[in-house]
Structure 1
Amino acid sequence: MSSSLVRMKHDKQKVKVPAIPTPPTFRLLCYLGQWVLVLLILPCSASAACDRLDRDALLSLPFNTPLNWSASTDCCLWDGVTCDPVEHSRVVRLSLPRRGLSGVVSPAITNLTRLTRLTHLNLSHNSLLGSLPDDLLSSLPSIAVIDLSFNRLIGRFPQSSNESSHLQIINLSSNFFNGTIPASILVPSVSVFNVSNNSFSGPIPVSNGGNHTSLTFLDLSFNKFTGPIPPGIGLCSRLQTFRAVWMLSNRKIIPGGNTDKTDFETMSSQSTAVAPELDKDTSLVILFPTKTNEIKDLSITEILKATDNFSQANIIGCGGFGLVYRATLANGTRLAVKKLSGDLGLVEREFTAEVEALSTAQHENLVSLQGYCVHDGVRLLMYSYMENGSLDYWLHEKVDGPSQLDWPIRLDILRGAGCGLAYMHQICEPHIVHRDIKSSNILLDDKFQAHVADFGLSRLILPYQTHVTTELVGTLGYIPPEYGQAWVATLRGDMYSFGVVMLELLTRKRPFEVCKSRGSRELVGWVQQMRREGKPEEVFDPLLRGKGFEEEMLQVLDVACLCVNQNPLKRPTIKEVINWLKDVGTSQQHEDKN
């Protein structure tokens, strides 16, 4: 016995202290206090609550962005980590979307297979590189959700899967995967399967005899799949959305028996697309949903009737790949129908580009694709009808057109077209480089609101790409100078073309006029020369002068000249241009650019 305790005993013998009753609540507090004291004096190096193997597996992941992960703390408390609420030591969820993660995932990601209780894995919208191991899915026996979308992953799809797995959602979209996808991946439990925006090839990964009764969402679009849509699609009784935009060479689209409730977004390249419920000789017009739902159950027969069998009297436009016709349906609704013709390869590309771009991008300042059809080898694209035609028509063709486009209307047209371009460049996924921005591709509705149109030359830019390799295309006078040096299409190239449109609205001159002298033949060069000579006001359309808008026009001229800079890196983004156009007429606009 210690000396302190001996003294305490001796003191109690000398002094009699009356006993004081202790309330139960007080005794409980004292008891809890003792345990708190015990916990406080425990060594700080006590083992973490989470499983050691789970912790080590997480620490091995090649994330270059710092996280609050430390071997000395409980991994169940780390960012993005969730442990089993019952068996607290095991990690069940890893969710780190949009954390700026970077690094090469292979081979370190194989350590994830040690997380045998993991049910949810979400590493989407990061910058992860590398490939996935073939046994990733089969080695995670509890995995239900895996989302690795919007990264930079390459290689082939994991080739093995467990038939008895719990997989429900697989999202590998917007990466750089290639190769084929085995049909065995779509186990019966999968309800969502999204591999869009990759480079997968081969047959569609849906087995004809497979049990896909849980499948509700299937997105295979923007890949390189070939072959027919398998009859197994028709056996997916719960399928609500099926997106598959690719070339089906010499095949028919046979969606199956549930077409009335399934959102089929498919395209055939070589033959008539037919559905079982339609007559054998009638092509299927595939329609996209509209806000008004005014167009339903449209057939090729109705299209032919609405255009008077594509009569010359209904021609409202002409492009490089065919004519555009006015179509008036029985209920009075008007459509613009583009009938593609010419070289089969070029027509095919135009058709594909339009459907890909406009089925992805939907905005009030973009022309709306209502539907498409392949009939007797002819490809048809159907758009919302624009009552006032093109900006080019009003500036250069209509006799009294320019006089009806006063400066406020022209400025609104620029703002509207800019908003449409901003949506393409920054908001829709994947981003779209138009490659043919010009006044004839800016259409005007009955209120002169601008709609960017004609996506036949457009290309989709996947995440983390800065450009797409392409052939030299475009329209003389609008083509950025760098396109002649390297065959790449960039968003900055679109900005050059948009700058030319701005100059066109300011001057009412065409971008390139063969009949003029060499010094004034090109609009961009002429405007830049006039500015160097200190005569910027002389470039403006005479119809706009003396109306009190000179200061605003000078501000827009400054923006346009920034856009047509010879150095693409010095051109502003569309977001900057939109902000400047909003501020036209205020001093803030000049301050922002300076």
Structure 2
Amino acid sequence: MVMVLAIDLSHNHFSSGIPSALASCTALEYLNISWSVFESPIPASLATLKNLQDMDFSFNNLSGTIPVALQDMKMLHHLNLSSNRLTGEVPKGGGFSDLGNSAVAGNPGLYGTWINLPPCPNFKSKHKGLSVSHKVTIAVLISIVILILCFLSLAFSYKWRFKRQSISTDNVEDSVSSETDSGDQSTLDLHVEPTRISYEQLVSATLLGRGRFGSVYKGTLYNGTHIAVKVLNFQDKNAHKSFITECNALKRVRHRNVIKFITACSNPVLKALLLPFMSNGSLDRWLHPDGGDECKLDLNDRLTIALGIAQGMEYLHHYCFVQVIHVT
């Protein structure tokens, strides 16, 4: 059930351990197995559910420690592990940072002063032997580390600002989160710093072909990397809508048989998609060569290509978070 969004098995008599196969439900946002008799530890594999927002495991017989990996679940806003037999220290990061005492109440074996639970049983013994000189040494080392981190942060910030100014131009603002012309705001919601490409690198590209919504060019970056630049045709009234739709779809696609999306460039006179350049030419030329031996494929090669295309299409149609439908 890769695309299931909610699973509610609460108020039953399910026993044994929590199925680790739940980790394969990558789109899951809500998981409730409260008020049953599930036993054994919480599977650490559940940390792979990056879209999970609500998780309720209360009133079971779960034992063991809370997996530290669960604190990497950035989308987790509600967590309830109360009334179990969990032990050990409660993690502090991720969704655990906003937990209240009620979320882990009823687990006598849990500890953590930051959440108003008893301190670690070995807390006193760990610090009892520290002398004054050791404490001073630790304080000095911490101060040195903080100074080094501050220096590195300032140096990185200066380098980033200098690089940003050096590659910007007056003619194009190349950013994946772009503002469209006429004051219309596009919704290209990427959470990473986009690759920045200068205007000079785009205008020097070589035309490869033309399609319905624009032209495709071959360009070369300063580091020698070849790229394909898809420039939209502004004479087509659907070009702008196609640009926004294609960006929002490509930025979420992650599959080995689907071409990678590098970045996008947008200003009132230029809208372009930047993709890796495929040096082997078009698939049509390989499947239907005009002559010569350089493009001949045997039956095994053709089956491999067909299988790869089918896997990519299956991912786009059924398993991608933004489902893509191709209409011919």
TM-score, L = length of structure 1: 0.26
Higher relative contact order, structure no. (Cα contacts within 8 Å, ≥ 6 residues apart) = 2
TM-score, L = length of structure 2: 0.45
